[in-house]
Homo-oligomer: A and B are copies of this chain.
Amino acid sequence: MESKQTEISSIGEFGLIDRLTKNFPLRNESSLKGVGDDAAVLEYGDKEILVTTDLLLEGIHFDLRYVPLKHLGYKAAVVNFSDVYAMNGCPKQITVSLGVSSRFTVEHIEELYSGIRLACEIYGVDLVGGDTSASVTGLVISVTCIGEAEKENIVYRNGAKETDLICVSGDLGAAYMGLQLLERENKVAAGAKEGEEFQPDFAGKEYILERQLKPEARKDVISSLKENGIKPTAMMDVSDGLSSELLHICKSSDVGCRVYEDKIPIDYQTAVMAEELNMNLVMTAMNGGEDYELLFTVPLTDHDKINKIKGVSVIGYITKPELGAAMVTRDGKEIPVTAQGWNAFS
Interface of A with B (CB < 8 Å)?
8-9, 12-13, 16, 32-33, 36-46, 48-55, 57-61, 83-84, 86-87, 89, 93, 95, 97-100, 128-138, 140, 142, 144-147, 149, 151, 154, 156-157, 236-237, 252, 343-346
Contact = CB atoms under 8 A, between A and B. Distances in A.
B83 A135 contact: no
Nearest to A49: B42
Contact of A131 (B44, B54, B97, B236): B54
A120 to B, nearest CB: 16
Given A38-B83, A39-B147, 6 more contacts: A37-B156, A39-B51, A41-B48, A41-B149, A43-B48, A52-B129
Contacts of A53: 95, 97, 129-131, 142, 144
Q: Return the 3 tightest CB-CB contacts between A and B, nearest first.
A: A142-B142, A55-B97, A39-B52
Count this chain's copies in the assembly: 2
Nearest to A145: B39
A99 B36 contact: no
Contacts of A146: 49, 51, 146
A104 to B, nearest CB: 10
B133 A344 contact: yes
5 contacts: A38-B87, A38-B237, A44-B44, A59-B136, A60-B99
Contacts of A144: 51, 53, 95, 144
A131 B55 contact: yes
A57 B147 contact: no
Contact of A40 (B43, B50, B57): B50
A138 B136 contact: yes
Contact of A343 (B13, B149, B236): B13
B41 A142 contact: no
